[in-house]
Amino acid sequence: MTLPTLKVALRTYPYTEALKTGAIQPKLANLDFVDVKPHIAAFRRMVRDLEFDACEIAPTTYMIARAYGVPIVALPVFFVRRFHHDGLVVRPEAGITSPKDLEGKNFGVRAYSVTTGVWKRGLLQNEYGVDIDKVNWFVDDEEHVAELTLPGNVHHVPEDSSLVAMMAEGKLDAACTGDAGIGRAGKPGEGWHDAGPALPDTLRELFADPARLDAEVFAKDGVFPIHGTLAIKQSVLDANPGLAADLYEAFVAAKAPYLAALRDGTATGKEASKDRKHMAIVGDDPLPYGLEANRASIEALIRYGHQQGLIPRLFAAEDMFLPF
């Protein structure tokens, strides 16, 4: 039997490397991996043009695309995990001493639907009572799903400016940092923006002890924020019965040696350091796969997406992710 060859856009992680080297292979398909730099450009190429048979994609981008009828479906595998009390910075002179003080203020985030921004707004709204409709959200990138209509309190920065410039000029009171916000330089139009002037060195984190707060919220609701899932063209799955389960099992197998190395202390590098910190909060698997293992996190992201006007209704977890 001739196996189909799937074009797959996926970054290399310690827990996907065995798949990319061919040390572990699915039984029902050959995988032709392509590198997209920056990988965020692959998100748009997948949801707008279905360019890949399978693609690592931000879960919020995926959910919005699926809600708008894009014929893709995701495996419950998540390549990046991250808590979200950190990376919320404010200008000291803005008078923001508590989350509720963000109401009426100007807040910068790269794009409104970027997954990190969705998680952070969800945290602010659901844990700290912030009325996100009273915050003025400023963005300087287009949304991945072109059909998405944004709420009226979302504003694009002027064409001759950027989030960084607005923060430097005192026109923003708060912002996300990292992949969701200010300070990311690169090629405009591919999920990046021109960094422009330097950020003020007086910016401070909104939450003084983010790690403790992350642990407290996780203990309460079991939500371990998901980033990066594998979206597959529905036509590919329809044409290849059993492929979804085969791929899922291959990703589980590729992760197993990395988990063993984490647990015995031999795993090294940036990912391992981050994952060990997460293990202190979530237990011995900092990268859980599977629908049930991630139900609380999936349902939270769906709820936040609905609250923020990104998806039209509260979907079931099974509507969005295959039941493995």
> Quick one: three-class SS letters along the chain?
CCCCEEEEECCCCCCCHHHHHCCCCCCCCEEEEECCCCCHHHHHHHHHHCCCCEEEECHHHHHHHHHCCCCEEEEEEEEEECCCCCCEEECHHHCCCCHHHHCCCEEECCCCCCHHHHHHHHHHHHHHCCCHHHCEEEECCCCCCCCCCCCCCEEECCCCCCHHHHHHCCCCCEEEEHHHCECCECCECCCEECCCCCCCCCCEECCCCHHHHHHHHHHHHCCCCEEEEEEEEHHHHHHCCCHHHHHHHHHHHHHHHHHHHHHHCCCCCHHHHHHHHHHHHHCCCCCCCCCHHHHHHHHHHHHHHHHCCCCCCCCCHHHHECCC
Q: What is the pLDDT of residue 96?
A: 96
Contact 4, 29 (CB under 8 A): yes
300 phi, psi to nearest 5 deg: -65, -45
Contact 150, 210 (CB under 8 A): no
Q: What is the pLDDT of residue 198?
A: 60
For residue 177, what pLDDT band results from cuts at 50, 70 and 90? confident
Mean pLDDT of 148-160: 93
pLDDT of 92-117, one tens digit each?
Answer: 999 999 999 999 999 999 999 999 99
Q: How far is CA 90 from CA 84, 95, 114, 181, 313, in A?
A: 15, 9, 19, 13, 32
What the block records as the tokens of 84 is 């979200």
Q: What is the pLDDT of residue 185?
A: 40
Q: What is the pLDDT of residue 199?
A: 65
Mean pLDDT of 232-237: 98
Mean pLDDT of 240-265: 96
Residue 169, Cβ neighbours under 10 Å: how many?
11
What the block records as the tokens of 26 is 């699915």
Residues in CB range of 248: below 8 A, 6 or more apart: 75, 76, 77, 289, 322, 324
pLDDT at 188 over 80: no
Residue that the structure tokens 């003084």 belong to: 208
Domains of the chain: 5-82+224-320 (3.40.190.10), 88-217 (3.40.190)
